[in-house]
Structure 1
């Protein structure tokens, strides 16, 4: 969806479709070099990472299997309770596999830290992280991220997989939501 179709809902466009696609192409080239000769499994975290995973994998100049997980860590409202629950687990056995977790955004790092620990307990050859967006100012738990598309301010963003009440995921850009939409 083009941002013109939601006139007034976005306060600012942080990243255009061209900027996102350009950076994903660069990241795919880095990933391809780093995993040369290795059997790579891309693990997307639902629902937000769908767009990132699809476009990143299309930019890869090599084969890469894909699998998906859905995890939940919500308490009241938009604040995490710190309790993580697997809603949809992997279909693939990751024993001795090279796993690259693909995320849409990293903010506090709490849920992702839990996920990486859970995955490492399954005996993979490696577990690394790739994210399109990271909010350094929101970090509460340090997470080692190998591939970062963009560092962004600690603001509520939507688009390119990120939602507000399940809307705006299919925006081709990333932008800050106007306060009148969520107040």
Structure 2
């Protein structure tokens, strides 16, 4: 698919994203006040969302990163998850918040939370910018959700197409219409 030649349908504007992140940051800050919070950003897709989210949070926290893959350069999940960079921090007794750009099948988030649970954290919750409940293949719902969206192929604000377009400041769906 050549997305440059297709019409882009804006699903979440830059302003809507900023407003929702402020709301999430306030909610999460209240929930974790007085706790030992480690925010785990799933790279590469969530790095922009995570950066904006933690900058709006009002509590002390640490940030760590994991690299997982279930898409490759495809538009759909392969169904199997691999971890190419794991968390190096000791998670025993730590409250962990896993942040990802999108949950559709739920396979990646389920795998990551089960993987982290083996490291004995005090708690583990998840936060996603986008949730596609119609695509769910496992029993999983994120604890904090930015936007619930329809089953469309989305790009921008960290989400990529062929490792490009992550820098677009809004989320758009690629339509079948030519420009």
Fold shared per TM-score above 0.5: yes
* C-alpha distance in 1 between matches for 2:57 and 2:68: 26
| 2:165 paired with 1:175 | no
Classify the secondary structure of the residue corresponding to 1:154.
coil
Deviation at 1:82, TM superposition (A): 3.0
Partner in structure 2 of residue 120 of structure 1: 117
Gaps of 5+ in 1: 1-5
CA contact under 8 A between 1:10 and 1:175: conserved in structure 2? no
* C-alpha distance in 1 between matches for 2:82 and 2:10: 33
| 2:102 paired with 1:102 | no
Partner in structure 1 of residue 28 of structure 2: 31
| Normalised TM-score (structure 2) | 0.91
* C-alpha distance in 2 between matches for 1:7 and 1:79: 19
Classify the secondary structure of the residue corresponding to 1:175.
strand
Count of equivalent residues:
176
Gaps of 5+ in 2: none
| Normalised TM-score (structure 1) | 0.89
* C-alpha distance in 2 between matches for 1:74 and 1:21: 27
Classify the secondary structure of the residue corresponding to 2:81.
strand
* C-alpha distance in 1 between matches for 2:105 and 2:4: 30
RMSD over equivalenced CA pairs, Å: 2.0
